[in-house]
């Protein structure tokens, strides 16, 4: 009888917790404000392409940037925007499709390409720009280079009449290949 009472009490206790929680997620936070911040982040995560277990969501494959900072585009590349003047921005997206081939001895594109399109949105309407004017801000794009590989950032000028891949002046530091990215077009890490 004693064991039955203990099991019944434990069942009622667990049922009480479930009823009180009403589907709310319990977070270990130090303040209610921090809990709201965590809830807001979880709620704004991009949808998964493939349902997978886990709580870490990949960076969005399409982003719009309207202020200075460091941003990830789908986890493939990161863009560091500096001194961006109000009224200017950049749309970033991933592209995995087929483009013109790279020069013969360049190597191969390691991941996908990151496409950037600069624009002016103030005053309306939005106007797409071929490049971000240097007095309106600057941007660098970076890709992680696998250990033991040599990497170089290439640019694909989609706005030209005959687009080709062009090697950019690339800085390799701490496992990252970075290059200036003030032009609208495609950027990719090419490795050998």
Domains, the chain, ordered by start: 2-43 (no CATH), 62-191 (2.60.220.30)
In this predicted structure, the answer to whether residue 15 has a pLDDT above a threshold of 60 is no
Alpha helix (H) ranges present in 70-161? none
Average pLDDT over residues 57-67: 90
Which of 20-29, 61-70, 88-97: highest mean pLDDT?
A: 61-70
In this prediction the pTM is: 0.70
Residues 78, 141 contacting (CB under 8 angstroms): yes
Q: How far is CA 19 from CA 22, 39, 43, 134, 146, in A?
A: 5, 20, 23, 59, 50
pLDDT digits (tens, 9 = 90+) for 128-170: 999 999 999 999 999 999 998 989 999 999 888 888 999 999 9
């Amino acid at each position: 009888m004693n064991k039955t009472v203990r099991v019944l009490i434990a069942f009622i206790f667990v049922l009480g917790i479930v009823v009180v929680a009403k589907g709310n997620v319990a977070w270990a936070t130090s303040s209610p404000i921090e809990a709201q911040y965590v809830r807001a982040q979880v709620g704004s995560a991009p949808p998964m392409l493939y349902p997978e277990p886990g709580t870490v969501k990949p960076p969005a494959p399409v982003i719009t940037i309207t202020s200075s900072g460091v941003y990830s585009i789908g986890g493939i590349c990161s863009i560091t925007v500096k001194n961006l003047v109000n009224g200017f921005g950049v749309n970033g997206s991933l592209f995995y499709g087929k483009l013109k081939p790279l020069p013969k001895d360049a190597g191969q594109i390691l991941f996908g390409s990151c496409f950037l399109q600069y624009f002016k949105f103030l005053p309306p309407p939005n106007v797409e720009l071929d490049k971000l004017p240097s007095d309106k801000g600057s941007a660098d794009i970076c890709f992680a280079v696998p250990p033991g590989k040599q990497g170089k950032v290439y640019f694909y000028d989609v706005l030209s009449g005959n687009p080709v891949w062009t090697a950019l002046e690339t800085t390799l530091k701490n496992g990252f290949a970075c290059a200036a990215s003030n032009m609208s077009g495609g950027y990719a890490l090419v490795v050998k």
